[in-house]
Every structure is written in C-alpha cells, then in structure tokens.
Amino acid sequence: MNRSSFTPKMPKPKKCRVCKNIFTPQRSTAVVCSVSCAKAWSDKVRKEKEATALKAERQSMKERAEKIKTRGTHLKELQAAFNAWIRLRDAALPCISCGRPASWKGQWDAGHYLSRGSSPAIRFDAANVHKQCLPCNRHQSGFLVAYRVNLVKKIGLAEVERLEGPHEPLKLTIAEIIEMKAHYRAKVREMKREVANQLEMESV
C-alpha cells in the first residue's frame, strides 16, 4: 500500500458540551466547538474540581472532629436525637402533665418522668419520656403529680411501677452511643418525610 495515498480518518461530529451545537472537531479529544466554549468549559471544570476538593476537605474535617469528640459530647448528641424523636412520636398528643393541646404554639419539650439526674439508667427509655409543654417541664419541675396520673392512663400502672423500680446502671460504650444516635436520627428523618408526604397528599 502506498503510504502517500493514505487519508487520515476524520473525527465524527459531536455535540459541544457547553453550547450543545453539533460540530466536527479537529482532534478526537476535543469536547467544545469554539474558543469561547473552551473557556466556559475550563471554568466549569475548574469550579467542579474546587467544589470536589472543598467537599473532601469538609468531610475530612468532619471525620477529624468526630474522632476527637468525647463520650460526653456523643451522649449529648444522642439525647438531642432521642428527644427530637419523642417530640415527633407524640406530636399529635397533648402535654403529658397539664393536657395542653397539641395545637398550642409554644415550645414543646421531651419531658422525663424520672429525671436524667435521679434515674440516669432510664434516660433513653421511651416509656419514661413524653411530650411536655415548656411551662410544665421547666417552670413546674415536670408537674410530676399530674404527669404520673396521666402516664398511668397512657402506659398502664405496671409499666409506671417498672420505671419507678430499681434499674441496673446504664453503661453505654462510645460505639453504642454512636449507633443509638444514628438510629434515632434516622427515625426522625423518616418521620419528617412521612409528615411531609402526608401534607403533600392533603394539599392535592
């Protein structure tokens, strides 16, 4: 075969990644059709690389921060996740103590029947924690007389007496605390999605 008669194969037409026009590239590796599109593409690639690097840095910082958290910090975050779940679980219910209706626009707490200080072993026992209005929880120290009356109605005397009985100390490892924290955060996300979906269906 005569090499001088060989005609190189021309690249196939392709769509410009910026303006989306069809063009025939001079090189098979070209992805844009013009100098202006090349600049726009270069800027886009640069921004994507910067965003990826920033995301990786944030993830790295998050991982480093997670590693240096104390057991107390993890426990505090678990309590916040657990309390958020309690408030969502009881969202449609009145205050466990005074009966203030769910339509009240004030702040709702996750009120412990037996406090974390007096009964740390059951601080994450779902039977021991219920939605409570801020005035009862913080201004009346839980309004415990009414709390117990309504708690018996809600979960039964036997369960209340179980809460009031002796308990083994709660000895959670950091790994267990992290696992519980992830569990309640996931439940909160799931319940919020369900509420959002329900509201969307009602608006149709």
Residue 24 CA neighbour count, 13 Å, CB half: 4
30 with 104, same domain: the answer is no
Same domain, 79 and 156: yes
What is the residue range of 58's domain? 12-68
Same domain, 159 and 112: yes
Q: Has residue 4 been placed in a domain?
A: no
CB atoms within 10 A of CB 130: 24
* pTM score of the predicted model: 0.70
Q: pLDDT per position in the chain (204 positions), as tens?
A: 455 555 667 778 889 999 999 988 888 788 899 989 999 999 999 999 998 888 888 887 777 777 779 999 999 999 999 999 999 999 999 999 999 999 999 999 999 999 999 999 999 999 999 999 999 999 999 899 999 999 999 999 999 999 999 999 999 999 999 999 999 999 999 999 998 888 888 877
Q: Does residue 161 fall inside a structural domain?
A: yes
Alpha-carbon distance of 24 to 170, in angstroms, equals 71
